[in-house]
């Protein structure tokens, strides 16, 4: 049986949820959506003072680079903007982005994702995803086939807390265990989310990742939810790799996910990219793909790139750039400008 790796980018999510943002629009859209909130006002004021710009300045993803650079330096940049304040501002920005995702991903056509999984699962493929959303995750969970490569510790219910007496006596707000989901880590389809996931909650003290079944639970961690492990006093935190030049992949779980992705790419006979534009700034992903090529005993039998059909001149120029980038990397590439829906139809029996 041939080994296939499916690589999903933001375009795959956009195909099943028209309101889903592309990565380049994350910060801009989140700040517009929550424009009246104090955190947004503070971020805009910060950008105005740093860059001496006008009130209507459009803040984009570059703010991640600035905030992460300051935090990486480990020092305050002024009396007003201390290291602690900048760190808090970054946490606020992350919270805004997560909340924005929760709002825009309410109306999702899950049917095409379920059909996609139904069509490919018999081949036991690997799916590598750059997306935070849990659309594919839930499609796999519906078919009792959830496997993130790196082992998830517990499935938990983020909306609930443990029995009331523990909460009162010990002061901990812990989630219930989702014991009804017995197939965690056992699925035949490996889903490798190399930038993290909205349903992953990480305990730094335990160095373990738990899963909020069917829920985008990492937002709950920003309001203070303690680890499910009754011997642990730590609070959960999100596990998301933000769109910054200073991406940190040192987390054990993330490193194992990337190692599994490289192994899958090396062993694959066929690659299918769906809605991924192979942007220049994604140099870590480029390195991952190139390193796999260097370590493969033979070339891929087939490399397929699925994109939507162009609707205007800008779309056509965008596709020309994508063609160039993929041909520079793989030489022999089959481009299918048919969109995710039609691709799923073409592989369904």
Q: What is the DSSP annotation of 272-290?
A: EEES----TT-HHHHHHHH
Of 14-28, 121-135, 155-169, which range is least confident?
A: 155-169
State the pLDDT at residue 222: 74
Which of helix, strand or coil describes residue 106?
Answer: coil
| DSSP strand pairing (208-212 vs 196-203) | antiparallel
pLDDT in tens, 215-273: 777 877 777 888 989 899 999 989 998 877 766 778 999 999 999 999 999 999 999 99
The beta-carbon contacts of 180-187 under 8 Å, at least 24 apart in sequence, are: 181/141, 181/146, 181/155, 181/213, 183/144, 183/145, 183/146, 184/146, 184/152, 184/155, 184/211, 185/146, 185/147, 185/148, 185/151, 185/152, 186/146, 186/147, 187/140, 187/144, 187/145, 187/146, 187/147
Indicate whether 169 pLDDT > 60: no
- Which residue reads 């030049």 in tokens? 245
Closest CA to 216 of 197, 189, 194: 197
- pTM over the 0.75 mark: yes
Mean pLDDT score, 297-301: 92
State the pLDDT at residue 69: 87
State the pLDDT at residue 168: 46
R_g of the chain, CA atoms, integer Å = 21
How distant, in Å, are the alpha carbons of 41, 116, 121, 173, 227 from that of 169? Answer: 39, 48, 47, 11, 16
pLDDT in tens, 196-219: 999 999 999 999 999 988 777 787
Of 23-37, 141-155, 218-232, which range is least confident?
A: 218-232
State the pLDDT at residue 329: 93
Separation between Cα atoms, residue 324 and residue 128, nearest integer Å: 22
Residues 209, 240 contacting (CB under 8 angstroms):
no
Indicate whether 61 pLDDT > 90: no
Separation between Cα atoms, residue 152 and residue 181, nearest integer Å: 12
Mean pLDDT score, 90-102: 90
Separation between Cα atoms, residue 34 and residue 175, nearest integer Å: 28
Helix H or strand E encompassing 305: strand 302-306
Mean pLDDT score, 153-177: 69
Three-state SS string across 116-174, please?
Answer: HHHHHHHHCCEEEECCCCCHHHHHHHHCCCCCCCCCCCCEEECCCCCCHHHHHHHCCCC
Separation between Cα atoms, residue 150 and residue 252, nearest integer Å: 9
Which of helix, strand or coil describes residue 249?
Answer: coil
Of 52-56, 97-101, 183-187, 278-282, which range is least confident?
A: 52-56
Of 127-131, 145-149, 267-271, which range is least confident?
A: 145-149
Separation between Cα atoms, residue 280 and residue 328, nearest integer Å: 12
Question: Residue 127 forms beta bridges with which residues?
Answer: 6, 191
Which of helix, strand or coil describes residue 341?
Answer: helix
Mean pLDDT score, 79-89: 92
State the pLDDT at residue 50: 80
């Amino acid at each position: 049986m041939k080994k296939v790796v499916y690589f999903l980018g933001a375009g795959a999510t956009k195909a099943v949820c028209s309101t889903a943002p592309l990565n380049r629009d994350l910060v801009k859209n989140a700040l517009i959506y929550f424009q009246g909130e104090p955190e947004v006002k503070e971020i805009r004021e910060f950008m105005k003072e740093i860059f001496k710009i006008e009130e209507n300045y459009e803040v984009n993803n570059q703010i991640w680079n600035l905030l992460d650079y300051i935090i990486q330096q480990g020092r305050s940049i002024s009396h007003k903007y201390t290291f602690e304040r900048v760190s808090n501002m970054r946490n606020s920005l992350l919270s805004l982005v997560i909340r924005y995702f929760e709002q825009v991903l309410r109306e999702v056509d899950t049917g095409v994702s379920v059909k996609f999984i139904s069509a490919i699962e018999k081949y036991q493929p690997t799916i590598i995803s750059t997306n935070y959303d849990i659309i594919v995750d839930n499609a796999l969970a519906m078919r009792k086939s959830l496997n993130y490569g790196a082992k998830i510790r517990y499935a938990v219910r983020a909306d609930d807390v443990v029995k009331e007496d523990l909460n009162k006596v010990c002061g901990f707000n812990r989630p219930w265990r989702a014991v009804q989901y017995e197939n965690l880590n056992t699925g035949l389809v490996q889903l490798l989310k190399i930038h993290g996931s909205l349903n992953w909650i990480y305990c730094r003290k335990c160095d373990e990742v738990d899963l909020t079944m069917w829920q985008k639970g990492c937002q709950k961690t920003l309001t203070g939810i303690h680890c499910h492990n009754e011997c642990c006093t730590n609070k959960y935190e999100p596990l998301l790799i933000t769109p910054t030049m200073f991406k940190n992949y040192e987390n054990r779980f993330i490193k194992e996910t990337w190692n599994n992705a490289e192994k899958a790419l090396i062993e694959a006979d066929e690659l299918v990219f769906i809605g991924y534009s192979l942007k220049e700034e994604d140099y870590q992903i480029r390195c991952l793909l190139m390193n796999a090529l260097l370590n493969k005993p033979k070339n891929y039998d087939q490399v397929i790139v699925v994109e939507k059909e162009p609707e205007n001149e800008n779309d056509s120029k965008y596709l020309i750039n994508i063609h160039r980038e993929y041909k520079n990397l793989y030489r022999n590439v089959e481009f299918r400008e048919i969109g995710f829906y039609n691709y799923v139809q073409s592989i369904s029996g």
